[in-house]
Structure 1
Amino acid sequence: MTQVPNVFIALQRNEETRPIVDAILADNPGALLDEQPAMVKINVPGRLVVRRSTIEQEIGRDFDLQELHVNLITLTGHIDESDDEFVLSWVH
């Protein structure tokens, strides 16, 4: 059995990212949260999706996925980005 490699996203740990992290965890069953003093890292086997609609539900306002970049520290995986989803995976 081949192990699926993890992808991850790391964000600054602050009040702005708390609802974003909650949304990512809600949309990615099996995600592992690694909280550090200054950052939050979310590891997911194979594929991680960030959905604009879920973040909007969490924060109660419109959200442009480009706002992620303000608090983004690093990530791993290939990026597939649209107005509605930001997806990290190892699939081209």
Structure 2
Amino acid sequence: MAGIVSITLQNNDEARPVIESILHDNPSASANYMPGAVKIDCPERLVVKAGSVSERIGRDWDPQEIHLTIVSMGGSLDEDDEELVLSWGV
């Protein structure tokens, strides 16, 4: 059985383009919208692509910027200049 990875972001103007990008780039992801936060669950692996976020905000976006809006996450984190990946085990 695949593990579920998750990321919870603040529901604010800075995080909304990131949330949109995650849901667009991870078709198997589901979002739970709460007052002040959005929790996104995805089977096995979730990718946040810098290019996708940059397109939505109209400027270069560094994946490190996500740390300003993260509330919590579940999974092993791997990040570089192009993307941030949450997964279990691999």
Give the structure-1-normalised TM-score: 0.94
Tell me which of 64, 68, 72 is aligned to 2:66. 68
| Runs (4+) off by over 2 Å | none
User: Which protein is bigger by CA-based radius of gyration?
Assistant: 1
SS of match in other structure, 1:24: helix
How far apart, in 1, do the equivalents of 2:74 and 2:4 lie?
8
Give unmatched runs, 5+ long, in structure 2: none
RMSD: 0.8
Give unmatched runs, 5+ long, in structure 1: none
Tell me which of 10, 17, 20 is aligned to 1:19. 17
- For 1:77, the equivalent position in structure 2 comes to 75
- For 2:52, the equivalent position in structure 1 comes to 54
- For 2:3, the equivalent position in structure 1 comes to 5
- For 1:88, the equivalent position in structure 2 comes to 86
Q: CA deviation at 1:16?
A: 1.1
Q: CA deviation at 1:5?
A: 1.4
Q: CA deviation at 1:23?
A: 0.4
Partner deviation per Cα, 1:64-91 (whole Å, 9 max, x = no partner)? 1111000111101111111001000002
Kindly provide the amino acid, as one letter, of the partner of residue 46 in structure 2. L
SS of match in other structure, 1:83: coil
Kindly provide the amino acid, as one letter, of the partner of residue 19 in structure 2. V
